Amino acid sequence: MSNCHNHSHVGLSSLINGAENLRELTLACGPAITEDLAKCLHTFSGLRSVKFDGCLVKCSGVRAIGRWPRSLKELSFSKCSGVEDDSLSFLVRAHKELTKLDITCCRKITYDSVDSITSSCRSLTSVRMESCSLVPKEAFVLFGQRCELIEELDVTDSKIDDEGLKSISRCSKLSSLKLGICLNITDDGLKHIGSRCSKLKELDLYRSLGMGISYFRP
């Protein structure tokens, strides 16, 4: 269900009533994620993947998702307005089995969210957080320290620096790393990725001029 702006939680509840085997739900660019909407999904214990891309998110709605009975595996708040530290931290502490998380352009989150994500969700394999402009460079070190199973990491347009790259190089399964418009990184950081991430297949250095590629050999 995408671009269905006029649907409320009442309509959604009627539509999926009886869908006991519901596993995945996409509400991209749809209704606001309110507490009532989250509550109407509470009974679907088999739900494992939810995408709210482009929706207005209410803090009460995020917290209500945190009270769902079973942990999600995949969650996307890509380009959602309204996602904040307190509610997101509450959610990830409850959904510790998350393996994929997309918080692209969630511009209100800070170090606190990354701290909660990395301490709670140690099984993450994919994290997308392009243009999370309030997240400081110190936060990116946490991924390498706590989430060594990461295979895909998108930190485009972020404040990540060489120390962050050095830490992330501990993620030996890393296959995709996007560093476009990351102005604080240098060859010193990239050499750690090149020497330790042997499974890397995709490296995006868009507008990262002056970066060397000698560390990455076919």
Please tell me the number of Cα atoms within 13 Å of 172 on its side-chain side: 0
Residue with structure tokens 């347009």?
157
The answer as to whether 57 is a domain residue is yes
User: Are 93 and 121 a contacting pair, CB within 8 Å?
Assistant: no
- Residue 83 sits in which domain range? 52-204
Higher pLDDT, 27 or 174: 174
Mind listing the pLDDT tens digit for each residue in 136-187?
999 999 999 999 999 999 999 999 999 999 999 999 999 999 999 999 999 9
> In this model, does residue 116 exceed pLDDT 80?
yes
46: number of Cβ within 10 Å: 11
The answer as to whether 122 is a domain residue is yes
User: Are 130 and 157 a contacting pair, CB within 8 Å?
Assistant: yes
The answer as to whether 84 is a domain residue is yes
The answer as to whether 195 is a domain residue is yes
The answer as to whether 96 is a domain residue is yes
Q: What kind and span of H or E run contains 128?
A: strand 126-128
CATH of the domain at 91: 3.80.10.10
Name the band, by pLDDT with cuts 50, 70 and 90, for residue 17.
low
Higher pLDDT, 3 or 101: 101
The total domain count for the chain is 1
Name the band, by pLDDT with cuts 50, 70 and 90, for residue 30.
confident
The answer as to whether 15 is a domain residue is no
